[in-house]
Structure 1
């Protein structure tokens, strides 16, 4: 029996080890190591050979972790040619994104082995040579971007082999010859700024002028019509020439003078017309620069920077091309422009995309707040992020970057992490994780008609506790004032776990700006109205208002609170003073039983937080401790229905705010 047991254990160990070894894409890992060892790259592409390749930056594997499915290294500082027998060995690769680097030469011939490849983005590099023949064999390709390189020669007719292609981007190269008739069902197409000639094929006439502009010898379709006269007019025969009489010569001279006058008038008219066109173009360009700020994140918002209904003026692969809006953000084309104004990832970054990816993203407006407009941006590879376009930012680039680096170090489950930022003279963008369940404000104050799912008491307590933990972490572990606490800045995971956003931004806004004056209306502590400078204690006040919002179901600046100008804390105080405490609570909470004591306890904590005198308010860790004590006592009496962490405000960096002994004053009675 013992021998049988030992054999069984041995077999089990072998199976486990074999399964573990099978979960590592060994051959693909060797190919990637060979590639990165031969190509100079940025420090962020620091692949640890002892770790699984599936955990490397920019690498994504299939669910079984047996093959590499995507390699995304945009703007990764890659320099030089791509060696043969490296990337071409990734036989199961679906997505390859290496645009905006400084790669040279042509694409390796063994790219023809990437038969499962569906999207290839190599734009904004320094590739050269003729159209890569290996690509015409990749019949599963749907998006192909070779834009902004130095490819030359003809565009091959064999592109028709790519029967699944719906996006083809060849602009800003040196391609020459005629455009072949491409029969694929293209949705996005751009060959602008090449050396192409001849007429545009009928299969491509559906695309706008911007898809073909910059090819001086190209005609037809949206461009100028092609000249249909291919032969010169016949010259008169010598026999037909009859000597002119003096009268006829005199008449011809008179006609010649009239012709000269006509030509002069026509030239003047043409000059005037050109002048008017120039003035119109300058005015339109100025208008576009103004509107590019609306367009400039209709890119992270309907296509950042003007676009994605059409991409960004037609740039690469869903990456549609070039537009003045895009140029405003990137400050020039080519890798050099991308280096001057680039998307900066903080704390190592959790994503592998760059500014160009954001400019091409499809997006929608999530909301306009006091610090700027937020957009949900869906990148081509499926990643979803939130892009916030800031307004009224003061200070220079160095101060901005220093503050953003500090915010990027904040890592806690109840804090929305800042992932990246972008700074230029005209645009300041922040990139955050996308929270699928939206904001507390939307959930709490959304339509209360039929079919509404109300926010129950347990979830309200979960949100109150999680928000307190996130704020305590910011105050203690990072010495950061949030400065903009409100229900629309408490975002929710699908399980209603909260995370605070928009923290630490107050210092980069002008104290005299209108957005700063109107910030957190209804949540502002009385002293901030005068100083316009948030503090730890003013954060506590705003948090107290947030608790009242959870308890009452009323928005802090809601007109239904009663007298004009009354805020939520004063309204609650006035109701409690008349001993109508039950009237304070949200009617949606009244259907739940045995929660009255908890609601009153939380109301006591909230009223302590919104004390008029700052010194009478608890610190944020103290307020957290009050709520924890309340939930612990409740879990003891309810057989552990509500659980609380023993380490509530601990972030992922292991730091915990110091313990405080303060408890809610027993004298505070609503």
Structure 2
């Protein structure tokens, strides 16, 4: 009997081991099959050069780390594709993508896909679909979205879709965003359940009829460009009945009486305004004119916490008194304490109320919003940056992207300590860096008569910037431009003048139209020429930064919005160094130089020119650029 039990126990153990081995090899084959699926999908696309690192020799995912560009990973599986602005075209092979069982989000925006909408119902697990800004056309069959019970967001704007809005959309139980603007949809808007859709736009189509009740509280602008739509929030669909003569007379009398009363009220108010003020009135007027503005910065944060629009801050030093803020119409006691989401577990925690009590200073205002320095009671000095152009990303996506950035750790990156999410505005919290920005050291010091960084310091800064860029490229391979906004004001300097990058990795969460207007990666030659950025765009921004650091000249084209083609710094530098007869000094005359450093300075200058070549193929990648920069010495040997 005992022998029989041992045999049964042994047999059970063997079965368990076999199951474990089977599951292990199943997971391995799944990872391998994902690579095969994606390679097949890539091969079906045209102009797929942006996907050049999709290679079977390494899996697309390594845990939560993405090895391939445009891929989002979770627990070793591909859960998202973000192939935006890559110049892709051709058919979208959804039959292949349907084999990616963990795929939940898909974005092919700002490409050149055309023809009818692919059969999205093949991907029943999708939660978000972004196909805006392509060239899709034709009618979408009514039943196209049947069975996509998990779909939350559908963006089809700026295409050429026609016919009626599919009637299968209102049946999707989780659909929250539907963007169909700038197409050629016609007919009536289907009836949707009330309070389900949170974001909606059908402007500039050919829709007719009465707007469903579910959308009656939306802004009228989301229905612009549809001349035959009516109902709230637009004009009423019914024409008022003509008034009878018996009704017109009393109504006319009532209107006339109302107008007379309004005139009397205006006259009385005008006389009161002109009356001389007593002592109390004069004092009140004086107080309103001379009221100090020293609480503006933190009042802005306070208003943000309360959900009100905040004015632009203008004060330089902000030190709120110990007394509580002025009372508002909204009771502060009834408001919950707003918590900041921390990304670093080893940090002392604080919340919005701590920031509001802190003494603060406005550091500046840029294209994203204002930046404040807050000195907390425990001695911590934090920088709080407001972002006003991230309202197209939802809470879940923003939290996920911030967690991804929060996992980054490198000596040349300023870590994001925490963040606060609100639909209209976001706050990012980081440590204060003592020596300010490289832009201030290069340009501000000169204007104030202070010493500028010497050659050795500038070389050290450039080496640090390049190391930070390489780290970002390795850790964020799914981002086309892992930094995206490299400029001298986003390079901070610590006590030892080590370079620390800030405002990196934000391209995916900044509103696309604002990013294209202001972010540095969109000032590159490739974006001006083809409307797309590449993996070497950050290398171009590094090249421009090198030229700025060495010449002391600010790249004036960065001040221009959109695709302006202002004076090209690289072209100016090349013209100076090629003209041997020119007596123009290419290097910053305010830069203190070591002996025998001219050849090394020229070596770095030429690396900068190589990095910002207009021809992408002529540029080095970031790894090669760093290797060349590392070879530059303070003095020639």
**TM bracket (short chain):** 0.3 to 0.5
Alignment TM-score, normalising by the size of structure 1: 0.44
Q: Which protein shows a greater Rg?
A: 1
